[in-house]
């Protein structure tokens, strides 16, 4: 089975949202078609998807703001797990961010999610203990 990693297009938005549900990523207020479309319009290379025989089986968002490279929404379809795809997606995201100039990368991980933490703790990334994230939802123009 060949898995191709490519940048998502707006046509992938519905399948990406389905993958995130199937993979049981932690839902947020921006899990909708408009938000995925906005991301792709803002940076057409930020959302990477893994495709196998026409089906999306993985995703990762590689965001670059000119200061840090940020990784979000790493997801692998349950049927494709433990075959190295998660690691491949992270490596591809890091390679992409590096090509843009990102020297420092970060990933937000739900700390009580044993599966996600298991993946990251086994990676070459370092867990940062002396920072805490603050978040806020806000209204945006329609
Ligand atoms: C986390 C996730 C992306 C991992 O994808 P994956 O394709 O299975 O990961 P890989 O096969 O590349 O795993 C690489 C290594 O990470 C570690 N790892 C992966 N999943 C793990 C788990 N559930 N528990 C412990 N360690 C794990 C292992 O060391 C693994 O190597 P091994 O299989 O040779 O033992 C996938 O389980 C997933 O989509 N989970 C739901 C969404 C999520 O939590 N995403 C992360 C948000 S930051």
Q: Indicate if the pLDDT at residue 140 is higher than 90.
A: no
In a domain, 18, yes or no: yes
- Has this prediction a pTM greater than 0.95? yes
- Which residue segment(s) compose the domain that 78 sits in? 4-121
Q: Which residues line ligand 1 (CB under 6 A)?
A: 23-25, 74-76, 81-87, 107, 109, 113, 115-116, 118-119, 122
Residue linked to tokens 């998807």: 49
**pLDDT of res. 11:** 98
Q: How far is the CA of 142 from the centre of ligand 1 (A)?
A: 37
In a domain, 128, yes or no: no
Integer CA distances (angstroms), 80 to 14, 57, 85, 109, in order: 20, 7, 7, 20
If one counts every other C-beta atom within 10 angstroms of the C-beta of residue 70, the result is 19
Give dist(CA 22, CA 25) in Å, integer. 8
Domains held by the chain: number: 1
In a domain, 141, yes or no: no
In a domain, 126, yes or no: no
CATH number at residue 46: 3.40.630.30
Q: Indicate if the pLDDT at residue 142 is higher than 80.
A: no
Residue nearest atom 22 of ligand 1, based on CA coordinates: 115
**pLDDT of res. 141:** 81
Integer CA distances (angstroms), 142 to 34, 35, 38, 139, in order: 10, 11, 12, 9
Give dist(CA 66, CA 43) in Å, integer. 12
In a domain, 142, yes or no: no
Residue nearest atom 31 of ligand 1, based on CA coordinates: 82
């Amino acid at each position: 089975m060949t898995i191709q990693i490519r940048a998502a297009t707006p046509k992938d938005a519905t399948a990406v949202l389905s993958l995130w549900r199937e993979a049981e990523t932690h839902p947020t207020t921006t899990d909708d078609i408009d938000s995925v479309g906005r991301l792709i319009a803002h940076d057409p290379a930020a959302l990477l998807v893994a495709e196998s025989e026409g089906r999306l089986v993985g995703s990762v968002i590689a965001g670059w703001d000119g200061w840090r490279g940020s990784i979000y929404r790493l997801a692998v379809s349950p049927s494709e797990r433990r075959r190295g795809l998660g690691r491949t997606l992270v490596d591809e995201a890091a390679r992409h961010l590096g090509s843009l100039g990102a020297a420092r990368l970060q990933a937000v991980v739900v700390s009580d999610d044993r599966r996600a933490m298991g993946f990251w703790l086994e990676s070459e990334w370092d867990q940062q203990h002396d920072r805490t994230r603050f978040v806020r939802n806000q209204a945006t123009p329609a």
